[in-house]
Amino acid sequence: MSLSIETREQAIEADRNDPLASFRDRFVLPDDVIYLDGNSLGPLPRRVVDRMTATIRDEWGEGLVRSWVDADWINLPEQVGDKIARLIGAGPDEVIAADSTSVNLFKLLSAALSLRPERRVIVSQKGNFPSDLYIAQGLSDLLDRGHELRLVDNNNLIDTIDQDTAVVMLTQVDYRSGHLQDMAAITAAAHESGALIIWDLAHSAGALPIDLNGAGADFAVGCGYKFLNGGPGAPGYLYVAQRHQDAIKPILSGWMGHKDRFAFDPVYQPADGIKRQLCGTPTILSLAALDEALDVMLEADIDQLRAKSLALSRMFIDLVECNAAGHDFELASPRDDARRGSQVSFHHQHGYSIVQALIARGVIGDFRAPDILRFGMTPLYTRYVDIWDAVAALSDVMATSAWDKPEFTHRAAVT
Ligand SMILES: *Cc1c(COP(=O)(O)O)cnc(C)c1O
């Protein structure tokens, strides 16, 4: 097998030539850690520390309730939404940051189903993130109108969409395998059958170029704490194409989505546009962190990010298959760059213990049941030499059977 990078020196050389290299210093990263889990929880951008200090000490501490206006807290959900819009090919008034991905999906699935009242089928992926499927199940039960959740493999989606399909609800990048869907083709197929589409961008936004409007998408949701580096429990966001915004009657009709919040009108009337998707009071501290983190992300060129993500991924695949050959790793991610998001996953029957043994050496990836080792590729702060060193650690863990110790088999509450 021919590798593009065959020595540690070549990896260091690739870092020297990397146009994104300077971004690494913008993050707090412990010296003894190689972080390949930014797709689960992004690291802390340095400038977020100062922003949080100012938001807490000055805006909250000194400004108190006045900061809703003086520090413009009240418009933070739209401000953050506008920044995310630039990463996902949406217009400025089409995205708003609020709530969690799961809650936002509940809102938009309910909206989409109400726009297709004659149809009963929701098409999604068998391997979709469970919360997405649970939300569809819970909402169907609540509506009690006989909706069917039709789950299929990633490769059979288009053939499954038919005249009964109300909504196609898909995660663009599969959280286990990293399989990347063709957004334009599937959106077109959904529309051809008269169905609406909801994209979950949890594992794609901030990792690769996305063009929701170019694809003609209807709705989307996504996550603030993964590739967007907004911090633990950062708010999610939602996208509603302009053409649908005023046709939706929000199911979570809270006061923040009211037309005139401070009229304290006893009767709910939805605000115009995307604002009606707000429900309760925005989580200002988390939003401020996400807002600041997005400024770092928006400085980077998304095409350069994608190119480096693919280069890191190819390097990782090649090195694992070369250096850990004979240790039963089976690639779980698509080999084709065009079909892979920004992570590399392998099957291994001892996956959990191997991941624990790697973490003990400072190489942080994660494990997804039943047998997936998952490594996120985050080009803003991951270097080529990190990939080299991570694979060296993996090879050593396998060669010495270091994973086969009792302390690495006990399952923690969070994997
Ligand atoms: C991470 C993730 C979520 C998380 O949802 P929360 O409500 O933020 O916990 C949802 N869907 C997908 C596809 C994810 O990857």
Which ligand 1 atom sits nearest the alpha carbon of residue 233?
Answer: 8
Q: Which of 37, 128, 131, 227 to mutate to test the pocket of ligand 1 (most atoms within 8 A of CB)?
A: 131
On the question of pLDDT at 196 being above 90, the answer is: yes
Give the tokens for residue 393.
């650690």
* Pocket, ligand 1, Cβ cutoff 6 A: 100-102, 129, 131-132, 171, 175, 200, 202-203, 223, 236
Cα 304 to its chain centre, rounded Å, is 19
pLDDT at residue 4 in the model: 79
- Give per-residue pLDDT as tens, 217-250: 999 999 999 999 999 999 999 999 999 999 999 9
Between helices 76-88 and 284-299, what is the axis angle to 10°?
30
For all residues of the chain together, what is the average pLDDT? Answer: 96
**Spatial distance between the Cα atoms of 154 and 118, rounded to a whole number of angstroms:** 26
Give the tokens for residue 247.
């046709």
Please pick, among 174, 200, 291, 366, the residue that the annotation labels catalytic.
200
| Residue-wise DSSP of 208-220 | S---HHHHT--EE
- Give per-residue pLDDT as tens, 129-162: 999 999 999 999 999 999 999 999 988 899 999 9
What's the average model confidence in pLDDT over 365-382? 96
Q: Whose CA is nearest to atom 13 of ligand 1?
A: 129
pLDDT band at 409 (very low <50, low <70, confident <90, very high): confident
Give the tokens for residue 16.
């020297």
Type of residue at 29: L
Q: 252 and 230 in contact (C-beta within 8 Å)?
A: no
- Give per-residue pLDDT as tens, 286-332: 999 999 999 999 999 999 999 999 999 999 999 999 988 889 999 99
- Give per-residue pLDDT as tens, 259-289: 999 999 999 999 999 999 999 999 999 999 9
What's the average model confidence in pLDDT over 166-193? 98
Q: Which DSSP symbol is given to 126? A: T
Catalytic (active site) residue 83? no
Residue 402 neighbours by CB under 8 Å, 6+ apart = 357, 396
How many angstroms separate the alpha carbon of residue 3 from the centre of ligand 1?
Answer: 35
pLDDT at residue 2 in the model: 47
Type of residue at 64: L
pLDDT at residue 1 in the model: 42
Which ligand 1 atom sits nearest the alpha carbon of residue 175?
Answer: 15
Nearest 5°: the CA angle 273, 278, 281 is: 145
Cα 403 to its chain centre, rounded Å, is 29
Q: 113 and 139 in contact (C-beta within 8 Å)?
A: yes
pLDDT band at 338 (very low <50, low <70, confident <90, very high): very high
pLDDT at residue 3 in the model: 57
pLDDT at residue 168 in the model: 98
**Spatial distance between the Cα atoms of 167 and 161, rounded to a whole number of angstroms:** 9
Catalytic (active site) residue 129? yes
